[in-house]
Structure 1
């Protein structure tokens, strides 16, 4: 089976785009392009956690609702959420009403604040785990990697939750830490070009 399908313009795209009509614009404009914005990175880690046991289509359809419920994934604001806020969110039909996952966002927001104090930004921390080209598997042949395992273990050690290695790998794919677009996908070269000119954020921490 081919790893690509024809897009609406007749050019090839990753096969997974065929699963839902809303996947195509997400694939073409977001997935695999490098991100250094702390709120977007935190959002994606949270949404990947919510996706656990569900489909990305479900989460993507509710993404704007999640953004509203979690104040644009501003972790400084979310860190101030109390038990009453968790109970309120459990009544919100626009999001996935899972107590553990909602509580994890609040917990992780507080730990994100700690990371920013230590590293200067969440982006600086995340991009320290960008794998070398020699460590990569062929596109879309893996669901976990040495880099995602390492980042998952480190986040868990810091107190984060719902950040298993598979969740972190999906996060890395989406946020451009790797270019996992299929060979032949018309967006693969665009993502590669974006990664080539992307300025990796640096940590204030001396390693």
Structure 2
């Protein structure tokens, strides 16, 4: 049994915890979120602020997952936890399909109903959310979020920290820049520059992303 700590206790965290439960082989020992100022326990699980991660990371049998949907926040916390010496778990729901030739980095979460096909590369701390498709030869950068029901067709590149909205589609060979945002339901037929928001069918750049 691996001891796992979940960082974040919002709606996304509920789905991550369900994924952990579906896998077996893991024991949830703590849920940390700065909504908590004190330490408490329920059913053997510790609840407390994120600062408690520094103590828990000293146990080499403990692994972490960051269950926070906002990409730049996930990056910030990951960097803090790396400084503590934390190790991150890759979580892949049993009701997903991941090609044997795909690669998924540490700290990433693959939700139920997803498909990740041949030679796709998924970076670290990526969310591949429920029912999304990452086709062959995709590259998904660290801290990106592929939202529910979205489709990345073949040879798509999604940059670091980019967010592809629910139900969006990206045609083959296109690139979504670092920290860019693609709106829900958009159809990407042209490359999207770094730190830009694109919406519509076809997707058109509308504004600069305010990252932090």
TM-score category by the smaller chain? under 0.3
TM-score, normalising length: structure 2: 0.28
Structure ranking higher on relative contact order (CA contacts 8 Å, 6+ apart): 1
TM-score, normalising length: structure 1: 0.28
